[in-house]
Amino acid sequence: MAVINEDLIQKVFVEMVKYRPALAKYMPDKDENEEIDLRIIADLVIKNFPWPAGVELRRLFSGSMRQLGRQRLDQIFKTIERTIQFVSFVMVCQVWYDVTNKKIVLPDQVRKEFADRFQVLTMGNFCWLIRALATAYSEQKVEWFLPEMNEQFDKKFFAAIDFWVPERNEIGHYQINLDEGEIEKRCVEYEEKLTMILQRISFFAKYRLVSVRDIKVIKPRIHEAKFHHIIDLLNSSDSDFKGEEIDETKFSDSQSVLLMKSIKSFDDYLNLSPLIIDTNSEVIDAKEKFDIRKDIFMYTKYRSGHLMYLGTEVTEKCDLRALSNYNILLEEYKALMLAIGGIEV
């Protein structure tokens, strides 16, 4: 592990330990003058963020990113953008649920702007979503599914994410040229700013991101029905996701990506579909599906009646309209836009 990542890794891990005390056993014993094993700590930081953010940190911590150059600068931008995108999607999915269940009423201006912004997403739109939705919940004293958001998403946090919008537009899209010295300075400065944001959202270590592959009903004659869930845990340092099988008296939502407070119970979860989807369980049983790639995808835009997604590992554009559950995803998206934005798409 390159020393270049050391400050980020240690500061974020210290915050994670506050929310997940079991991680404290990996901290070095100061009384014994133990040195920190940065490789282990880095791996734990990656695993304890949900996959869409964790995979970008894995890339940032890789050997190819050790130099303070353009490649590292671009990866810092990608890490912050995908992380903020994930956070905003968690918030939007709860807002959809709360608006439908009349737990919150969004101001008309927020609804109108949401309808305009959410069909084509940018870094600026992610930041606007976080600020606007957090403000609405704070003003109406509604608690988030992740209650830590009420405390951590304050003016300082909003300013920290807003910083990235003009920087992303100018530097990330190569609108200005930087010499080697400027790139090195930006790498150091932006790593510090990324560290602060990751510290603020380190509470995600308390929760688990899962993909529900299948649900089967088990009903013996003399017993109550149980629901056999086959899930993949999307908190990992690689895409060979760990599988779990859980029997519950309650059932969750099949073919969905869920954020759970505990993988031992489906009592409390937030469904992140159709904004985050998992294609790993798709059976490629027809020619129309040959272009589908197995990956975790995040929604990017709605155009010409179609949903478009960007993969977390797949780099090429994928047409996912052949997915077996695509029409359901499309129905869910339309319901989301009608509930929050008040428009039919």
Work out the pLDDT band at 113, boundaries 50, 70, 90: very high
| C-alpha dihedral, 296 to 174 to 159 to 259, nearest 10° | 0
CA distance 272 to 257: 6
Nearest to 148 by CA among 278, 296, 24, 259: 259
In this prediction, residue 241 carries a pLDDT of: 73
pLDDT at 205 over 50: yes
DSSP 41-87: HHHHHHHHS-HHHHHHHHHHTSGGG-SSSHHHHHHHHHHHHHHHHHH
In this prediction, residue 317 carries a pLDDT of: 79
Q: Of all residues in the chain, what percent carry a pLDDT higher than 90?
A: 67
pLDDT at 1 over 50: no
Look over the chain and give the mean of its residue pLDDT values, rounded to a whole number. Answer: 89
In this prediction, residue 28 carries a pLDDT of: 77
| 264-289 pLDDT tens trace | 777 788 999 999 999 988 888 888 88
Higher-scoring residue by pLDDT: 293, 94: 94
In this prediction, residue 328 carries a pLDDT of: 94
Residue 109 is encoded by which pair of tokens? 């201006």
pLDDT (average), residues 181-191: 92
Of 55-59, 100-104, 161-165, the range with the lowest mean pLDDT is: 161-165
In this prediction, residue 247 carries a pLDDT of: 66
DSSP 8-state symbol, 21: G
DSSP 8-state symbol, 170: I
Higher-scoring residue by pLDDT: 229, 202: 202
Work out the pLDDT band at 263, boundaries 50, 70, 90: confident
Work out the pLDDT band at 103, boundaries 50, 70, 90: very high
List the domain boundaries for the chain.
3-206, 207-271, 273-345
Of 30-39, 60-69, 114-123, 336-345, the range with the lowest mean pLDDT is: 30-39
Q: Are the C-beta atoms of 259 and 274 separated by less than 8 Å? A: no
* 119-155 core/surface letters (b: 16 or more CB in 10 A; e: else): bebbbebbbbbbbbbbebbeeeeeebbbebbeebbee
| 16-73 pLDDT tens trace | 999 999 999 998 776 666 777 889 999 999 999 999 999 999 999 998 898 999 999 9
Work out the pLDDT band at 225, boundaries 50, 70, 90: confident
In this prediction, residue 2 carries a pLDDT of: 45
pLDDT at 184 over 70: yes
In this prediction, residue 175 carries a pLDDT of: 59
Give the distance, in angstroms, between the CA of residue 87 and the centroid of all CA atoms in the same chain.
6
In this prediction, residue 173 carries a pLDDT of: 55
Residue type, 198: L
CA distance 102 to 113: 20
Of 73-77, 179-183, 218-222, 340-344, the range with the lowest mean pLDDT is: 218-222
325 Cβ neighbours under 8 A, 6+ residues apart: 255
Work out the pLDDT band at 195, boundaries 50, 70, 90: very high
Strand partners, 258: 210, 271
pLDDT (average), residues 157-163: 95
Higher-scoring residue by pLDDT: 305, 290: 305
pLDDT (average), residues 114-135: 95
Work out the pLDDT band at 338, boundaries 50, 70, 90: very high
Residue 267 buriedness (CB in 10 A; 0-12 / 13-18 / 19+): exposed
pLDDT at 170 over 70: no
